[in-house]
Homo-oligomer: A and B are copies of this chain.
């Protein structure tokens, strides 16, 4: 099906009468504004439509079949660095589900929520706080206004023990491509007692079908939440010697397999640390296109930043936390600097930060406060300021704080912490996340494969190694680039594509991908791709849902 359908006008006309004209956007300048992302190349949709109910989504899907129009469903459209709200094929109509934003249910005892696609991390967090419920959500270090569902359906990874977002989905309601509604789990719809407690249900387990695919539009999910633990500490680790990375990875696997660290630790390299702690990340470069090795080492020394740093939340009773800490110390103390920080220490740190911030900038008291803080902790003030944010996110407090590192190569002044929007501000950033078995050897192999490519294309080597489960990490490589330079944008794109091809060839497939990579992602798995296409052909004969998403073809063949 051609996504620029001749029936498009008629389709928009029908949708306008269905949901109201103000919820249908077709003006080119508005489309352009809403199509922004940080990736080097996106496809323009034909319009944006904003239904407000499941019934409207069903009817729109039926209209799409009638008029042979392709829909690109998204939750809130904040999939920054992967294509945001833009489709895999130009001309598809972006169906934004942000108005379906009800928290339908929270079960305190069984620790789950049922939410619609438009519910954001910020909203769910506030909902739990307002109701005074002892339940913590898991958010990403991405935008606080990102969709809980959208991230989970793209199989994003968060921070805490509940950081496998798809793994913690339990129960889905889905609009199929023909507009019919189905509830997963094989029980009686609307009164299936274990719908949100038992993930597999009865009969084939089908929820996986609706992730990273184009087989339906998910309109409700159950999502498991963490009961507030008796005790919680942040574990902060800084590796002493760069060469010991494989040893640290081996320790991390043992700590994960033995349950001492169950959270999704993000092990970030120095460039990521610099760009997060810097007030204005672009100043780090001092005009250079990327950091020289000398400059990087100088920055390490200046800010007392380690080549690899990670934070991880440790949850449990006081005795459980103490037991986990014991094993963590045994594994990691020989390799670097290990700190454990609890709520009390964080409140002291916060008070210190507040006091310094209240002094006139660069005044003697402000500078004195920073020096004292540095003497007490051995860390520069920027890094200390970073601690409360790390600690908070591990308790499920979403914030945009970490997103600001997307401004690393931006030429515009960084906005205030409460106004971060890298897509709007035309920051250049793209992610590539190959899955790597959690061993020191495999991690080193992937890094050795990819690092020279950064040098070849003239970019800083930037990576966060995210523990996805006790046996796997996602090596999340990021390319920061200056979007206002067409040369740099083109180099960024070429680096990205070459990294993708090189890692795929070596057997390291990506855990999720961008609209830019989607045509290539399943090329290495022709039989799997064919199977996806057979299912696609059966469920969506006209091809109305997200053609091209994750490279899924349209069967039969």
Binary contact readout A185-208 vs B (1 if CB under 8 angstroms, 0 otherwise): 111110111101111111111111
A176 and B528 in contact, given A155-B200, A208-B204, A320-B320 (Cβ under 8 angstroms): no
Q: Which of B215, B319, B537 has a CB less than 8 Å from the CB of A204?
A: B215
| B203, A212: Cβ atoms closer than 8 Å | yes
A260 to chain B, nearest CB (A): 8
| A193, B155: Cβ atoms closer than 8 Å | no
What separation, in Å, do the CA atoms of A64 and B222 have in the docked complex? 41
| B203, A532: Cβ atoms closer than 8 Å | yes
Q: Which of B193, B259, B437, B538 has a CB less than 8 Å from the CB of A535?
A: B538
| B532, A535: Cβ atoms closer than 8 Å | no
List residues of chain B with CB within 8 A of the CB of A552: 203-204
Report if A348 contacts B (CB, 8 A).
no
Q: Which of A25-33, A142-150, A485-493, A506-514 contacts B (4 or more CB under 8 A)?
A: A506-514
| B436, A508: Cβ atoms closer than 8 Å | no
A445 to chain B, nearest CB (A): 9
| B320, A193: Cβ atoms closer than 8 Å | no
A183 and B319 in contact, given A110-B438, A197-B437 (Cβ under 8 angstroms): no
Of residues 501 to 557 in A, which have CB atoms within 8 Å of B's CB atoms?
Answer: 504, 506-513, 521-522, 524-525, 527-532, 534-535, 537-539, 550-552, 555-556
Q: In this complex, what residue of B is CB-closest to A176?
A: B531
Report if A468 contacts B (CB, 8 A).
yes
A211 and B204 in contact, given A258-B227, A316-B259, A317-B327 (Cβ under 8 angstroms): yes
| A527, B183: Cβ atoms closer than 8 Å | yes
Q: In this complex, what residue of B is CB-closest to A327?
A: B317
Report if A166 contacts B (CB, 8 A).
yes
| B551, A203: Cβ atoms closer than 8 Å | yes
A509 and B201 in contact, given A184-B528, A437-B193, A525-B189 (Cβ under 8 angstroms): yes
A182 and B528 in contact, given A110-B471, A534-B538, A534-B539 (Cβ under 8 angstroms): yes
| B204, A532: Cβ atoms closer than 8 Å | yes
What separation, in Å, do the CA atoms of A507 and B511 have in the docked complex? 36
What separation, in Å, do the CA atoms of A531 and B537 have in the docked complex? 13
Binary contact readout A431-465 vs B (1 if CB under 8 angstroms, 0 otherwise): 00001111100100000000000000000000000
Of residues 155 to 179 in A, which have CB atoms within 8 Å of B's CB atoms?
Answer: 155, 166-167, 170, 176
List residues of chain B with CB within 8 A of the CB of A253: 109-110
| B194, A509: Cβ atoms closer than 8 Å | yes
List residues of chain B with CB within 8 A of the CB of A197: 435, 437-438, 469, 471-472
| B208, A200: Cβ atoms closer than 8 Å | yes
Binary contact readout A203-244 vs B (1 if CB under 8 angstroms, 0 otherwise): 111111111110100000000100101100000000000000
A520 to chain B, nearest CB (A): 11
Count of identical protomers in the assembly: 2
What separation, in Å, do the CA atoms of A211 and B208 have in the docked complex? 12
Report if A247 contacts B (CB, 8 A).
no
| A509, B204: Cβ atoms closer than 8 Å | no
Q: In this complex, what residue of B is CB-closest to A445?
A: B193
Q: In this complex, what residue of B is CB-closest to A205?
A: B208
Q: Which of B110, B185, B539 has a CB less than 8 Å from the CB of A439?
A: B110
Of residues 277 to 327 in A, which have CB atoms within 8 Å of B's CB atoms?
Answer: 316-317, 319-320, 322-324, 326-327
Q: In this complex, what residue of B is CB-closest to A512?
A: B202
List residues of chain B with CB within 8 A of the CB of A104: none
| A212, B208: Cβ atoms closer than 8 Å | no
List residues of chain B with CB within 8 A of the CB of A213: 203-204
Q: In this complex, what residue of B is CB-closest to A194?
A: B435
| B508, A194: Cβ atoms closer than 8 Å | yes
List residues of chain B with CB within 8 A of the CB of A199: 167, 469
What separation, in Å, do the CA atoms of A39 and B468 have in the docked complex? 43
Report if A128 contacts B (CB, 8 A).
no
List residues of chain B with CB within 8 A of the CB of A227: 254, 257-258
A194, A229, A254 — most chain B CB neighbours (10 Å):
A194
| A527, B180: Cβ atoms closer than 8 Å | yes
Known: A184-B528, A204-B550. 4 other contacts (CB 8 A): A194-B509, A198-B468, A206-B528, A260-B317
9 pairs from A and B in contact (CB 8 Å cutoff):
A181-B527, A183-B527, A183-B528, A193-B507, A198-B435, A200-B211, A209-B209, A224-B471, A320-B320
- The 10 A-B pairs with the shortest beta carbon distances in the complex, nearest first, are A205-B208, A538-B538, A319-B323, A204-B213, A197-B471, A187-B509, A194-B435, A198-B472, A188-B524, A182-B527
